[in-house]
Amino acid sequence: MTPFINELAKILETRLAEPLSTADDFCRLASAGEPVRRAVALLEEIPTDIGTILFDYDVRLAIYRGPIPKTLGGDARAIATDLEVYRGADDQDGDLALSLILELDAVVSTVVVAERTGRLPQGTSDTLATRLEQTLAGVSWCSPVLAQLAEDRWLTVGDDPDFVGAYGWLDVLAEAAPSRSKTGAVVKAAAAHDRRVDEALAILTSTQSI
């Protein structure tokens, strides 16, 4: 996972060198910084260089005195609606699906940052997450490609370590991911095997006791 996190960190490092004075600047920085924060939370130890970049990121957010986007909730719901009706051509073209997932991820990241830094009321990200999950429930069954892209994002970037559930909509979108189906089949097969072994041992034990 480290090469992937390094790529995310490079993007954040580039954004940190850019101006930060407008609402759009704030959104771009948040969308670059939060995936790094979430991804390193999946590691046992944060690499020193990435830790330094995250520290600089937090400092930059702390000194920012500009506005935040005013349409975050509406933007998130609009993207979720686009995901709800998404159907890839023969379910093979995942470019649009990935773009929509990343767009929604960016908006939610901005909401999380705004709440964490006191620019939005506590509970804002949780309320938004609930609405997104309600909108996206069952959507993944209509597009395995969309579901798999969401699963890949969920496994490599994950949820927020402090605002748990803020990105739960990714988990909902990934419900029908092919990789989950394969994992489930393996688990079920293993459980069935264990059950047959237990039954065989039970029969053998009862036979020996006669």
What pLDDT was estimated at residue 67?
96
Residues 157 and 193 in one domain: no
Residue 203 has pLDDT above 60, yes or no: no
Q: What is the pLDDT of residues 127-143, one digit of tens each?
A: 999 999 999 999 999 88
Q: Are residues 72 and 115 in the same domain?
A: yes
Query: Would you mind telling me the total number of residues written for the chain in this entry?
Result: 210
Query: Do 78 and 153 belong together in one domain?
Result: yes
Residue 4: band (very low, low, confident or very high) from pLDDT cuts 50, 70, 90: very high
pLDDT digits (tens, 9 = 90+) for 20-38: 999 999 999 999 999 999 9
Same domain for 111 and 199, yes or no, is: no
pLDDT at 183 exceeding the cut of 50: no
**Half-sphere exposure at residue 166, Cβ-oriented, CA atoms within 13 angstroms:** 28
Question: How far is Cα 97 from Cα 92, in angstroms, rounded to an integer?
Answer: 10
Tokens of 38: 């979430």
11 or 88: which carries more pLDDT confidence? 11
CA separation (Å) from 128 to 46, 79, 167? 29, 13, 10
Q: Are residues 150 and 193 in the same domain?
A: no
Based on the domain organization, do 109 and 119 belong to the same domain? yes
SS3 sequence of 37-98: HHHHCCCCCCCHHHHHHHHHHHHHHHHCCCCCCCCHHHHHHHHHHHHHCCCCHHHCCCHHHH
Residues 54 and 156 both lie in one domain: yes
Q: Look at residue 193 in the predicted model and tell me its pLDDT.
A: 37
CB 165 within 8 A of CB 202: no
Name which of 15-19, 56-60, 191-195 the model is least confident about.
Answer: 191-195
Average pLDDT of span 57-82 = 96
Q: How much is the average pLDDT of 49-55? A: 97
Q: In the chain, how many domains are there?
A: 2
pTM here is 0.84
Q: What is the pLDDT of residue 182?
A: 58
Contacts of residue 56, Cβ cutoff 8 Å, sequence gap at least 6: 16
- Residue with the two structure tokens 């997932």: 101
Of 189, 123, 179, the residue nearest 154 (C-alpha): 179
Neighbouring CB atoms inside 10 A of 92's CB total 7
C-alpha to C-alpha distance for 124 and 134, rounded to whole angstroms: 16
The CA distance from 181 to 175, in Å, is 9
Half-sphere exposure in the Cβ direction for 72 (13 Å, CA): 29
Ranking 13-17, 162-166, 194-198 by mean pLDDT, the lowest is: 194-198
Q: Are residues 182 and 172 in the same domain?
A: no
Q: Is 192 exposed, middle or buried (0-12, 13-18, 19+ CB in 10 A)?
A: exposed
Using the 8-state DSSP alphabet, how is residue 161 labeled?
S
Q: What is the pLDDT of residue 2?
A: 79
Instruction: Answer yes or no: do 135 and 76 share one domain.
Output: yes
If asked whether residues 83 and 132 sit together in one domain, one would say yes
Name the least confident of 8-17, 91-100, 107-116, 165-174: 91-100
Do 150 and 195 lie in a common domain? no
Domain that holds residue 209: 178-210
Confidence of residue 101 (pLDDT cuts 50, 70, 90): very high
pLDDT band for position 15 (50/70/90)? very high
Looking at the structure, do residues 165 and 78 belong to the same domain, yes or no?
yes
pLDDT of 186 reads 34
- Of 167 and 206, the structure prediction assigns the larger pLDDT to 167
